Structure 1
Amino acid sequence: MSQPLRVGMVGYAFMGAAHSQAWRTVNHVYDLPVPVRMQVVAGRSAAAVAAAADRLGWAGHTDDWRTLLTRGDVDLIDICAPGDAHAEIAIAALAAGKHVLCEKPLANSVAEAREMVAAASAAHDSGVRAMCGFNYRRVPAVALMRRMVTEGRLGTIRHVRASYLQDWLVDPSYPLVWRLRREVAGSGALGDLGAHIIDLTQFVTDLSISAVCALTETFVKSRPLPSSPPGTGEVTVDDAVLFLARLGDGVVASYEATRFATGRKNGLRVEINGSLGALVFDFERMNELSFHSTEAPADEQGFTRVLVTEPTHPYMSAWWPPGHLIGYEHTFTHQAYDLVQAIAAGSDPAPSFADALQVQLVLDAVSRSAETSSWITVERSSAEPSG
Structure 2
Amino acid sequence: MGQPQMSGGTEVSRPPLRIGMVGHAFMGAAHSQGWRTVGRVFDLPLRPVLAAVCGRDGAAVRAAADRHGWASALTDWHELVTRDDIDLVDICTPGDSHAEIALAALAAGKHVLCEKPLANTVEEATAMAEAAETARTRGQLAMVGFNYRRLPALALARHMIAEGRLSTLRHVRVTYLQDWLTDPKSPLTWRLRKEHAGSGSLGDLGAHIIDLAQHLTGEKLTGVSALTETFVHERPLPAPPTNSLTPHPAARTAAVTVDDATLFTGRLTSGALASFETTRYATGRKNALHIELNGEHGSLVFDLERLNELSYYDATEPAIHAGFRRILVTEPDHPYLDAWWPPGHGLGYEHSFIHQARDLTHAIAQHRTPDPSFADGLQVQRVLAAVEESARKNSLYTPIAD
The residue aligned with 1:261 is 282
Among candidates 193, 203, 216, match of residue 181 of structure 1: 193
The residue aligned with 1:252 is 273
Query: For the residues of structure 2 that align with 1:2 and 1:320, how far apart are their CA atoms?
Result: 25
What do the CA deviations read for 1:348-376 (whole angstroms, capped 9, x no partner)?
100000001000000000000000019xx
The residue aligned with 2:257 is 236
Q: Secondary structure of 1:299's partner?
A: coil
Query: For the residues of structure 2 that align with 1:312 and 1:48, how far apart are their CA atoms?
Result: 42
Among candidates 211, 231, 234, match of residue 223 of structure 2: 211
The residue aligned with 1:162 is 174
Query: For the residues of structure 2 that align with 1:222 and 1:31, how far apart are their CA atoms?
Result: 50
The residue aligned with 1:91 is 103
Among candidates 61, 65, 68, match of residue 53 of structure 1: 65
Larger radius of gyration: 2
The residue aligned with 1:349 is 370
Q: What amino acid is the match of 2:194?
A: R
Question: What RMSD in Å do the two structures reach over aligned CA positions?
Answer: 0.8
The residue aligned with 2:306 is 285
**2:388 aligned with 1:367, yes or no?**
yes
Percent of residue pairs bearing the same amino acid type: 64
Query: For the residues of structure 2 that align with 1:356 and 1:53, how far apart are their CA atoms?
Result: 29
The residue aligned with 2:6 is none
Q: What amino acid is the match of 1:361?
A: R
Kept in 1: contact 2:234–2:253 (CA 8 A)? yes
The residue aligned with 1:103 is 115
TM-score of the aligned structures, taking structure 1 as reference length: 0.96
Among candidates 48, 51, 57, match of residue 36 of structure 1: 48
**2:349 aligned with 1:328, yes or no?**
yes
Query: For the residues of structure 1 that align with 2:239 and 2:25, how far apart are their CA atoms?
Result: 18
Kept in 2: contact 1:210–1:249 (CA 8 A)? no
**2:311 aligned with 1:311, yes or no?**
no
Moved beyond 4 Å, runs of 4+: none
Which blocks of at least 5 consecutive residues in structure 2 are unaligned?
Answer: 1-12, 241-247, 396-402
Deviation at 1:2, TM superposition (A): 2.5
Query: For the residues of structure 2 that align with 1:123 and 1:355, how far apart are their CA atoms?
Result: 16
Query: For the residues of structure 1 that align with 2:321 and 2:218, how far apart are their CA atoms?
Result: 30
TM-score of the aligned structures, taking structure 2 as reference length: 0.92
Deviation at 1:227, TM superposition (A): 3.5
Kept in 1: contact 2:20–2:81 (CA 8 A)? no
Deviation at 1:69, TM superposition (A): 2.2
Among candidates 28, 31, 34, match of residue 19 of structure 1: 31
Deviation at 1:341, TM superposition (A): 0.2
Deviation at 1:249, TM superposition (A): 4.1
Query: For the residues of structure 2 that align with 1:285 and 1:310, how far apart are their CA atoms?
Result: 16
Q: Which moved more, 1:363-372 or 1:241-250?
A: 241-250
Kept in 2: contact 1:161–1:253 (CA 8 A)? yes
The residue aligned with 1:146 is 158
Which blocks of at least 5 consecutive residues in structure 1 are unaligned?
Answer: 375-387
Deviation at 1:297, TM superposition (A): 2.2
Q: What amino acid is the match of 1:348?
A: T
Q: What amino acid is the match of 2:300?
A: L
What do the CA deviations read for 1:248-290 (whole angstroms, capped 9, x no partner)?
1410011000000000000001100000000000000000000
